[in-house]
Amino acid sequence: MSFKKVLVTGGSGFIGTNVVQYLMSKSDHFQVLSLDIEPPKNIAAVTVHKQVDLRNRSETFSAINEFKPDVVIHMAARTDLDGVSLDDYDSNTLGVKTLCEAIIECGTVSKFLVFSSMLVCGIGYYPKDDDDYSPTTIYGHSKVETELITKSFLQELPQTYIVRPTSIWGPWFGVPYRNFFDVVLAGKYFNPGIKSIKKTYGFIDNALTQVFNLVDSDGYETGKIFYLGDKKPINIVEWANIISRKAGKKAPFTMPKILCLGLAKFGDFLKIFGMHFPLTSFRLKNMTTENIIPANYLAPIDEEEVVSLEEGVSQTLNWINKGKDLK
């Protein structure tokens, strides 16, 4: 592995925090600069952080031309589902356009990873090809735009891969998967008694391995799309049971189907009045819709590099407990 200068946008987010932490731990191979409008979650990353809004053309061009990166990993984005129009997600449209133009002008970048989202297609929908989109949320639409804007610059950009994270979890995570752990640990989680489903999730260490395998690889066509996620899908009931067992808690109970549906409708009603309830029809559908990404869609990772589900849960619980000790 040769020495590389790596620019990370969105380095204060969940995946970004882990990417920056990894790069800082490999200072003999990497020099890292993190650009984000938010301060770092990990205080150790303050030394490599620069506050930049990618929607600001002069800030973005200045930061990139000054650092002159070899690799750019672009993760800066608005990722919540609360927006009501594409304009609310201009970080995901104007931001990537400005970044592409800055990379082209700089001329030093040899590898560009652009993070999109699996939500460019609705949960349970499997795209027929890289140009098949079926978003069901405004956020998903904004990430379709992220990909289309990137594709429009491909002839001028360096080697570029588009990365669609699945449901990534682990240390430094937040909503919604930190909430999943917290609810299970509090004994408030229930298994919906509708059907046992599996989903493609990804433990953060495995996702990092996939990311840096792409950084090191030149064997793929520019513009190729990869998903980040573990090859072995997670059974949600099994996952909740492992979390409970490793934390020394009682296993979650199973709620009857009719009660799940009733509570979801109640949550829908409260949402009309701006009130929060942990279960809605949207969330229940997400919980009970199988979503397995075919292995050939996933970014490369060797079996010996994979952190197991059990070990991932242990590492995550250790991180959660460490955080509680610091309070």
User: pLDDT in tens for each of the 327 residues of the chain?
Assistant: 578 999 999 999 999 999 999 999 999 999 999 999 999 999 999 999 999 999 999 999 999 999 999 999 999 999 998 899 999 999 999 999 999 999 999 999 999 999 999 999 988 888 999 999 999 999 999 999 999 999 999 999 999 999 999 999 999 999 888 988 998 999 988 887 766 688 999 999 999 999 999 999 988 999 999 999 999 999 988 999 999 999 999 988 888 878 888 988 998 999 898 888 877 887 777 777 888 999 999 999 999 999 999 999 999 999 999 986 544
pLDDT at 326: 47
Cβ within 8 Å of residue 200, ≥6 positions away: 166, 167, 227, 229, 230, 233, 234, 291, 292, 293, 298
**CATH placement of domain 4-165:** 3.40.50.720
Give Cα 109 distance to the centre of its chain: 23
Q: Which two tokens stand for residue 244?
A: 């409970």
Q: Which two tokens stand for residue 112?
A: 């560009």
Residue with tokens 């619980």: 317
Within 13 A of 138's CA, how many CA atoms are on the CB side? 12
Q: At 140, is the secondary structure helix, strand, or coil?
A: helix
pLDDT at 28: 93
pLDDT at 327: 42
pTM of the shown model = 0.91
pLDDT at 213: 97
Residue with tokens 């990137």: 150
Phi, psi of 88 (to 5 degrees): -70, -15
C-alpha 97/C-alpha 150 separation (Å) is: 7
Whole-Å CA distances, 16 to 20, 26, 237, 267: 6, 15, 28, 33
Delimit the domains of the chain by residue range: 4-165
Range 101-107, long-range pairs (CB < 8 A, 24+ positions): 101/57, 101/61, 101/153, 102/60, 102/61, 102/64, 102/65, 103/64, 103/72, 103/157, 103/158, 104/153, 104/156, 104/157, 105/61, 105/65, 106/64, 106/65, 106/68, 106/69
Within 13 A of 241's CA, how many CA atoms are on the CB side? 8
pLDDT at 1: 56
Residue with tokens 């939500």: 119
The helix or strand, by DSSP H or E, that contains position 291, with its residue range, turns out to be none
Give Cα 300 distance to the centre of its chain: 17
